[in-house]
Amino acid sequence: STVYLNGEYMPMHEAKISPMDRGFLFGDGIYEVVPCYSGGLVGFGPHMDRMNDGLKAIGIELAMSHEEWKAIALKLDGENDGENLGIYFHVSRGADTKRAHSFPSGVKPTVFAFAFEIPPAPVADKSKANSYSVSTSTDLRWKRCNIKSTALLGNVLHYQKGVDEGNQECILFDVDGFLTEGSSTNAYIVKDGVVITAPLSNALLPGITRFMLLDILRKDGRIKVEERAVSREEFDAADEVWLTSSSKEVGPVVAIDGKPVGNGEIGDVWVVAQQLFSEGKFNY
Ligand code: PMP
């Protein structure tokens, strides 16, 4: 496959970075993943805005416009096989000559992008949808989860707990028992027809799918949306539970720690929400 590295396109096996790269040594970088369905990018502008926010938050200076990023995305889409691709963008602080915690001066960020195949876009059909079973855990990650850092060890360990327990995600609760998010997704409950998700804070990633879904639901107006703290008790008593991420879109959760959510089947509010999302997702 063809990848992008520091201004050039090349076969993946020719892409080389220094072992002194701070992305490698410290996980010192920011990343994004943007879905691309038959050439159509989902949420491109918001994804790039979030990447710029992250770069700013960690003090990496990089002068790359949305247009330059988009040209890379479309080039990778054209050069790589597959109708449906995830476009991965990664900026690390770059390669120093020594291993020191302090930011090096005069070092250029490392910019990397590649494309990988993703499943076809989810459809709002209970009989065809992927449903998810999840584990739960106390959120043991750092306190700046709003930054989309490449340092994902905390997320990886939580996700792996889910896998080890036969599930596809792990939903996290802070030390006071309030919902934060999943290890790779944002999380929602539906109670009496109202969609409820944790408010944005440094405890969770401001998901682009979350932003688009809430915007789409509010503009449609049929389903009420609340951004507020969700306790573990409320979570366990939910009628429906959903996950969102760029590749899952709105993912229905049917089991939590081996217990069914509601009647254990995909819910009716999910159908409406995923349908609206499918219709609106290319408008961002
Ligand atoms: N939370 C975490 C921790 C994530 O890694 C992701 C996926 N990047 C999300 C939420 C969902 O974000 P998005 O909708 O932007 O893919």
Give the pLDDT of residue 228.
98
- pLDDT tens series, the chain, 284 aa: 999 999 999 999 999 999 999 999 999 999 999 999 999 999 999 999 999 999 999 999 999 999 999 999 999 999 999 999 999 999 999 999 999 999 999 999 999 999 999 999 999 999 999 999 999 999 999 999 999 999 999 999 999 999 999 999 999 999 999 999 999 999 999 999 999 999 999 999 999 999 999 999 999 999 999 999 999 999 999 999 999 999 999 999 999 999 999 999 999 999 999 999 999 999 99
Catalytic residue among 16, 56, 126, 148: 148
CA-nearest of 73, 20, 12, 34 to 207 is 34
* CATH code of the region 2-117: 3.30.470.10
- Chain region(s) in the chain for CATH 3.20.10.10: 132-283
Give the pLDDT of residue 86.
98
Query: Encoding tokens for residue 213?
Result: 């879904």
**ipTM of predicted complex:** 0.99
Give the pLDDT of residue 190.
98
148 flagged as catalytic:
yes
247 Cα–ligand 1 center, Å: 9
pTM assigned to the model: 0.98
12 Cα–ligand 1 center, Å: 25
Give the pLDDT of residue 90.
98
Please, which residues have CB within 8 angstroms of residue 36's CB and are 6 or more apart in sequence?
Answer: 42, 73, 77, 84, 85, 86, 87, 115
Q: Mutate which of 137, 184, 215, 281 to test ligand 1's pocket (most atoms within 8 Å of Cβ)?
A: 184
- Chain region(s) in the chain for CATH 3.30.470.10: 2-117
- Residue of the nearest CA to atom 2 in ligand 1? 184
Give the pLDDT of residue 220.
98
Q: Which fold has domain 132-283?
A: D-amino Acid Aminotransferase; Chain A, domain 2 (3.20.10)
Parallel/antiparallel/unpaired status of strands 240-245 and 249-256:
antiparallel
Task: Tell whether ligand 1 has an atom less than 6 A from the beta carbon of residue 180.
Answer: no
